[in-house]
Amino acid sequence: MMTKTEVMALLEKNKNERGIENWLKMGPSKTAKLFSFGIGLSQLRKLAKKVGRDHKLAMELWKGDNYDAKIIGLLIDEPKKLTRAQAEKQVEQLHGGLLAHVFSSCDATLPKAPFAFELANTWLDSDDAIRRSCAWGLIYEFSKFKGKKAPSDAFFMQCILRIRETIQAEENMWVREAMNGALMGIGKRTKPLNRAAIKAVKAIGPVDIDYGDDNKCEPLDVMKHLTSDYLRKKFGS
């Protein structure tokens, strides 16, 4: 198994100068307490596989001040060794939500934890926007589960209804973004869920997600994903 020192050396070896420039452009309000080697998430996933599952190492990497190392920590943690207390502590340490997406989604460990479903349902009703965002991130991950691990279609249908009724009233942009992601994921599961998700998107209308003038990201086009040629063929529509 690798040590923290070895992981940091691996990250430095794979540093990306353009990524570092983009990191610095985010400004000190978001990055003051962290530094980054500018490595993209796709590359970090590959490096995480090279490191392998290791709960103790994951905790060591999380405690540091390197963004990339924290991501590796989230990716290599062991689902059965995760505790709800750990999740509640970590959600308070996401640097204003900077790490929220990878914490709850992006094939991270938390969605695979035995208590993840219960946690998501609790966080959906939280007064904390970061927790609500993470709850919808978890639900997006659940939408990809198969077999006994997957929640029921009835649960997902309730999620569609909740998104349809509340997304426009949600004050936090990042929560709205996470809700959009969950709606897209749910709508890819089955034909009935796909139809319900499409109806929800039409009823909701445009969702305001403004990333700022300096951010080139485009808001997720949920309808485009739900009506793709692949899904039309999959659901025979």
| Average pLDDT of the residues of the chain | 92
pLDDT tens readout for residues 147-192: 988 999 999 999 999 999 999 999 999 999 999 999 999 999 999 9
Distance (Å, whole) CA 104 – CA 102: 6
- Which pLDDT does position 23 carry in this prediction? 85
Q: Are 75 and 45 in contact (CB under 8 A)?
A: yes
Among residues of the chain, what percentage have pLDDT more than 70? 95
Answer yes or no: is pLDDT of 142 > 90. Answer: yes
The strand ranges marked E within 104-171 are none
Helices (DSSP H) in the chain: which residue ranges?
A: 4-13, 17-25, 28-31, 41-51, 55-62, 67-76, 84-90, 100-104, 116-123, 129-142, 153-166, 173-186, 191-204, 222-226, 229-235
pLDDT tens readout for residues 49-65: 999 999 999 999 999 99
Distance (Å, whole) CA 22 – CA 24: 5
Answer yes or no: is pLDDT of 96 > 80. Answer: no
- Which pLDDT does position 30 carry in this prediction? 63
Give the pTM: 0.92
- Which pLDDT does position 31 carry in this prediction? 63
Encoded tokens for 114: 């035995």
Helix (H, G, I), strand (E, B) or coil at 35: strand
Distance (Å, whole) CA 10 – CA 46: 12
Q: Are 155 and 182 in contact (CB under 8 A)?
A: no
Select from 134, 127, 128 the least CA-distant residue to 110.
134
For residues 212-220, average pLDDT: 64
